[in-house]
Amino acid sequence: MAVTDNSMKDYAIGVFDSGMGGLTAVQELNRILPNENIIYFGDTARIPYGSRSRETILRYASEDVAFLKQHKIKMIIAACGTVSSVAMDDPIVEDMPFTGVIAPAIEAACAATEKKRIGIIGTPATIKSGSYIRAAAETHPDIMIIPQACPLFVHLVENGYTDFGNPVTRLVAEEYLAPIKKEGVDVLILGCTHYPVISDIIGDIMGDGVKLISAGAEAAKSAKRCLTEHDLLSSRKEKGKNTYYVSDSTEMFEENARFFLHEDVHGDVFRSNF
């Protein structure tokens, strides 16, 4: 990674995702780093990434990174479990601080588990990659990881099927979560940044004894640690600004973003074709 300098302190944090799931990371960034500017890119025209080939996912991710680099940014967060998983062995950012969601989520989950049995739910590409299992094995080989693909969750969340009482989402969640619940895990990683939007449903099905770990929120905490270590925290005193770019409808983004941010969008929203 290239050496950074103090002139970059007030540059923005760049965040990208296949759609709107990365807003769960933005929400946490706004909470813990309120003075930072954030530039978010959601590739809403090409969602979902989780059912694509490895080659396509890496190409999309490279294009997302290239778009963010058109702006003054000091760090990039891949707030996408699929990209973070597929890119583990293929670094997509090497010239500035970077984090995905895998390592931060595993670190938090391993610290939280008492039974040493952790569940991980994610897109098919994330689960197929084995990224979470490999990440855990490197630092905590004594901990068992139980994976489960949940291919319909992204579609349900992006289309607003997020209410606690929604019968469709609950039925799908019960089917997906049954094998993990049977394994007796005490920690469950929400390995796609869309999933925290339905965490109340997931938590209700898993039960009070299971701690949920949001990969997006843990990535945001990791970003704060990284910026602190590189002396790149913003020097501004006023509240930072969020700027959003999407590759599809801005109106649809603004309408659905509140499910992720738990409030209306504050900041400018633009459509971009890269």
Are 167 and 89 members of one domain?
no
> What are the tens digits of pLDDT across the range 178-236?
999 999 999 999 999 999 999 999 999 999 999 999 999 999 999 999 999 999 999 88
Could you give the CA distance from residue 145 to residue 267 in angstroms, rounded to a whole number?
39
What is the total count of domains within the chain? 2
Are 95 and 139 members of one domain?
no
Asked if residue 36 belongs to a domain, the reply is: yes
Q: Which of 80, 110, 150, 226 is catalytic?
A: 80
Residue 150 known to be catalytic: no
The token duo for 216 is: 């997006």
Asked if residue 244 belongs to a domain, the reply is: yes
Residue 110 known to be catalytic: no
> What are the tens digits of pLDDT across the range 128-160?
999 999 999 999 999 999 999 999 999 999 888
Are 44 and 67 members of one domain?
yes
Could you give the CA distance from residue 79 to residue 13 in angstroms, rounded to a whole number?
12
Asked if residue 207 belongs to a domain, the reply is: yes
**Is-contact 110 152, C-beta < 8 A?**
no
Are 191 and 131 members of one domain?
yes
Helices and strands: H and E segment counts in the chain: 11, 10
Beta bridge partners of 147: 120
Q: pTM for the full model?
A: 0.90
Asked if residue 1 belongs to a domain, the reply is: no
- 274 confidence band (pLDDT: 50, 70, 90): low
pLDDT of residue 5: 61
Are 72 and 93 members of one domain?
yes
3-state SS assignment for residue 74: strand
Residue-wise DSSP of 144-195:
EEEEEE-TTHHHHHHTT---TT-HHHHHHHHHHHHHHHHTT-SEEEE-STTG
Asked if residue 17 belongs to a domain, the reply is: yes
Task: Write the CATH number for 253.
Answer: 3.40.50.1860
The token duo for 263 is: 């409030």
Are 81 and 10 members of one domain?
yes
For residue 200, what are the domain limits?
102-215
**Cβ partners under 8 Å of residue 66, min gap 6:** 274
The interaxial angle of helices 215-229 and 102-112, nearest 10 deg, is 110
Are 84 and 122 members of one domain?
no
Residue 64 CB neighbour total at 10 angstroms: 28
